């Protein structure tokens, strides 16, 4: 079976990377307190300038309500954020508070990088009540509270409505990969825009494809849950579609990064987290919509709810203030109004009730209501996931560029992944 092969194209330009390196050099050394007793926290996240604008508004609101705490902020796109964070945490200079996800909890928890927030909950500096759909447990690992969700989201097909209408396809529950591929090929053959981007290196997408086959990217024991033959089939099928012009060439996708191929008008569809429609809708004039993943059997998508979270640094000098900051960001209704669904459907009932979704936010809310019966439990992601995810994306990029064969890429990935998961 050939399955979808799209996702995020989250690489920054050289100028952005240079800026990130500058921030790294300036940011090392931890937080501190001013001579007047003011506490300074450092807060970092991944995302684009639109997310930064919203987050900085929430930080200003926090500082207004907590005049004894100053918050310094910085951000990068996803891949560069984690490269920077790996260097910071290894050198003892990670930010006091930072955006996190399930992929990194066990890895950085095992390295004692993440602050256990449990004592702060007991001290009533951080509340864990009022979360939606059991999300209050999303950041727990081995009895420790290592993160608190700010939003919950799931994967989706984000697509150009006009292009799919011209192809005569209405993406909906129960549609199959064959139907999806027929639409992609029809759009591409019409000339101009391609039906989809070539993003077969997105770990989360491949995980869902595997789950539809009763497998998963990782087993419950923290090992790879698929074989070399499985990956050869996945990458061979996707590379063949790049070669025959069905998918966006990797070189063109790289040229528009960090924009997605969909937002840049190169592709008519892309698989990603549902909340990305908020960002991408702001980057294109085309009408975008959300649809469930195509299926193998007409029923199972393999989808699950994941979370963007906030974590504290284990070596912060100000654990109480970190907890107060996180509490404010996940519970304050005004923060919910400001952020909307930029990081997914708001995690707490208070914030969700304060925000009236409209436009792309309304699409996300309606989509998650529609696919609620498709959602399954998420497979825990083991320590080493960050290395494995980066290797999967990087090596597929080499394959898509034609600088590495599929066979060589598969062997290289398994070698790097197995080493990462053993260490």
- The pLDDT profile of the chain, 423 residues, written as one tens digit per residue, is 444 434 433 333 333 333 333 333 333 334 566 556 789 999 999 999 999 999 999 999 999 999 999 999 999 999 899 999 999 999 999 999 999 998 789 889 989 999 999 999 999 999 999 998 778 888 998 899 999 999 989 999 999 999 999 999 889 999 999 999 999 999 999 988 999 998 899 999 999 999 999 999 999 889 999 999 999 999 999 999 999 999 999 999 999 998 999 999 999 999 999 999 999 999 999 999 999 999 999 999 999 988 899 999 999 999 999 999 999 999 999 999 999 999 989 999 999 999 999 999 999 999 999 999 999 988 778 989 989 999 999 999 999 999 999 999 999 999 999 999 987
Q: Are strands 196-197 and 247-248 parallel, antiparallel or unpaired?
A: parallel
Q: Where do you find CATH 3.40.190.10 in the chain?
A: 31-152+307-357, 155-304+380-422
pLDDT for 18: 33
Q: Which of 324, 310, 315 minimizes the C-alpha distance to 115?
A: 315
Sequence-distant (≥ 6) Cβ neighbours of residue 17 within 8 angstroms? 80
Q: Are strands 196-197 and 140-141 parallel, antiparallel or unpaired?
A: unpaired
pLDDT for 7: 41
Q: Look up residue 388 and give its two tokens.
A: 């494995």
**Whole-angstrom Cα distance, residue 12 to residue 15?**
8
> What does CATH list as the number for 155-304+380-422?
3.40.190.10
Sequence-distant (≥ 6) Cβ neighbours of residue 409 within 8 angstroms? 235, 395, 396, 398, 399
Looking at 282-383, list the stretches that DSSP marks H as alpha helix, in order from N- to C-terminal side: 319-331, 333-339, 349-354, 360-370
Say what angle helices 406-422 and 385-401 make with each other, to 10 degrees.
170
**Whole-angstrom Cα distance, residue 177 to residue 213?**
13
Residue 315 φ/ψ, nearest 5 degrees: -100, 15
pLDDT for 116: 98
The DSSP element (H or E) to which 24 belongs, if any, is helix 14-27
Triad 298, 304, 308: Cα angle to 5°? 145
Which fold, 31-152+307-357?
D-Maltodextrin-Binding Protein; domain 2 (3.40.190)
pLDDT for 380: 77
pLDDT for 24: 31
Q: Contact 334/61 with Cβ under 8 angstroms?
A: yes
pTM for the model: 0.81
**Whole-angstrom Cα distance, residue 232 to residue 318?**
48
Measured distance between the N- and C-terminal CA atoms of the chain, rounded to whole angstroms: 33
pLDDT for 34: 59
Sequence-distant (≥ 6) Cβ neighbours of residue 347 within 8 angstroms? 131, 132, 135, 148, 149, 150, 151, 152, 307, 330
């Amino acid at each position: 079976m050939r399955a979808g092969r799209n996702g995020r194209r989250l690489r920054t330009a050289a100028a952005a990377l240079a800026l990130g390196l500058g921030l790294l050099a300036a940011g090392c050394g931890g937080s501190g307190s001013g001579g007047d007793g003011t506490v300074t926290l450092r807060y970092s996240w991944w995302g684009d300038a639109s997310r930064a604008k919203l987050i900085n508004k929430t930080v200003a609101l926090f500082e207004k309500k907590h005049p004894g705490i100053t918050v310094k902020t910085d951000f990068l796109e996803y891949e560069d954020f984690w490269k920077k964070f790996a260097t910071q945490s290894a050198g003892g200079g990670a930010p006091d508070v930072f955006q996190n996800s399930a992929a990194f909890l066990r890895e950085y928890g095992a390295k004692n990088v993440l602050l256990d927030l449990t004592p702060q909950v007991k001290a009533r500096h951080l509340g864990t009540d009022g979360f939606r759909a059991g999300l209050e447990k999303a950041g727990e690992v081995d009895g420790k509270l290592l993160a608190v969700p700010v939003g919950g989201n799931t994967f989706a097909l984000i697509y150009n409505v006009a292009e799919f209408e011209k192809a005569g396809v209405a993406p909906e529950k129960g549609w199959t990969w064959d139907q999806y591929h027929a639409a992609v090929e029809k759009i591409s053959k019409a000339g101009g825009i391609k039906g989809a981007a070539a993003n077969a290196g997105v770990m989360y997408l491949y995980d869902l494809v595997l789950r539809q086959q009763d497998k998963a990217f990782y087993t419950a024991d923290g090992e790879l849950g698929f074989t070399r033959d499985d990956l050869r089939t996945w990458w061979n099928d996707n590379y063949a579609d790049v070669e025959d012009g069905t998918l966006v060439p990797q070189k063109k996708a790289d040229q528009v990064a960090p924009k997605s191929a969909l937002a840049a008008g190169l592709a008519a569809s892309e698989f990603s987290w549902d909340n990305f429609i908020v960002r991408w809708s702001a980057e294109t004039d085309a009408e975008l919509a959300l649809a469930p993943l195509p299926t193998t059997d007409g029923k199972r998508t393999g989808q699950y709810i994941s979370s963007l979270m906030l974590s504290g640094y284990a070596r912060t000098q100000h654990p109480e203030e970190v907890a107060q900051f996180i509490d404010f960001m996940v519970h304050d209704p005004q923060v919910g109004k400001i952020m909307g669904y930029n990081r997914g459907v708001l995690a707490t009932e208070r914030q969700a009730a304060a925000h009236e979704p409209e436009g792309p936010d309304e699409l996300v809310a309606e989509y998650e209501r529609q696919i609620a019966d498709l959602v399954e439990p998420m497979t825990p992601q083991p320590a080493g996931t960050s290395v494995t995810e980066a290797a999967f994306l990087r090596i597929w990029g080499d394959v898509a560029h034609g600088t590495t064969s599929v066979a060589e890429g598969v062997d290289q990935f398994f070698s790097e992944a197995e080493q990462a998961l053993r260490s």
